[in-house]
Amino acid sequence: MDFSDVLLLSRLQEPSRASVLVSKLAEHGVNYSACVSLEKATNDFAESLKKNDIVIISTGFPILKAKAAFENDGPIGAVLLASLLESVDISTVFVVEKRLSRAMQQLCERSGVRFPIVVSISPEERRFPDILRGAKHPIVFIEKPGRSIGGKYLNMFGKDVSDYIYYPELLEAVVEPELRLSLGDGGNEHGSLTLVGGDIELGKKVGLQAFTTVDHFLLAGTSNLAATALTISLSKQLNTDWQYSLEYERSLFEHAKEVNLVDGKYGWINMSVDGISWDEYSRHLQVLAALLDKKG
SS3 of the chain: helix, strand, coil, percent, to 5: 45, 15, 40
Q: What number of CA atoms fall less than 13 Å from residue 35's CA on the CB side?
A: 10
Phi and psi of 202, rounded to 5°?
A: -70, -35
**Cα separation of 222 and 17, whole Å?**
9
Q: What integer pLDDT is reported at residue 11 of this predicted model?
A: 73
Residues of the chain with pLDDT under 70: 1, 296
Residue 168 has a pLDDT of 97
Question: Where do the H-state alpha helices sit in 88-145?
Answer: 98-110
Domain spanning 3-295 has what CATH number? 3.90.1640.20
Contacts of 169 (CB under 8 A, 6+ apart): 147, 190, 212
**At a CB cut-off of 8 Å and minimum separation 6, what does 213 contact?**
191, 193, 194, 198
Residue 12: the pLDDT is 75
Please calculate the CA angle 53-55-58 and round it to the nearest 5 degrees: 165
DSSP H or E segment with residue 86: helix 75-87
Provide the pLDDT for residue 65.
95
- Spatial contact of 179 and 138, defined as CB atoms under 8 Å apart: yes
Cβ atoms of residues 21 and 219 within 8 Å: yes
DSSP 245: -
For helices 246-258 and 278-295, what crossing angle results, to 10°?
A: 140
CA R_g for the chain: 17
Q: How many Cβ atoms from other residues are within 10 Å of residue 141's Cβ?
A: 30
Q: Which residues in 246-275 are b (16+ Cβ under 10 Å) and which e?
A: eeebeebbebbbebebbbbbeeebbbbbbe
Among residues 69, 109, 102, 60, the alpha carbon closest in space to that of 86 is found at: 109
What's the gap between Cα 180 and its chain centre? 12
Residue type, 77: G
Contacts (Cβ under 8 Å, ≥6 apart) of 287 = 1, 6
pLDDT for residue 10: 81
In this predicted structure, what is the pLDDT of residue 1? 61
Question: What is the C-alpha to C-alpha distance for residues 227 and 31, in angstroms, rounded to an integer?
Answer: 21
Cα distance between residue 153 and residue 96, in whole Å: 16
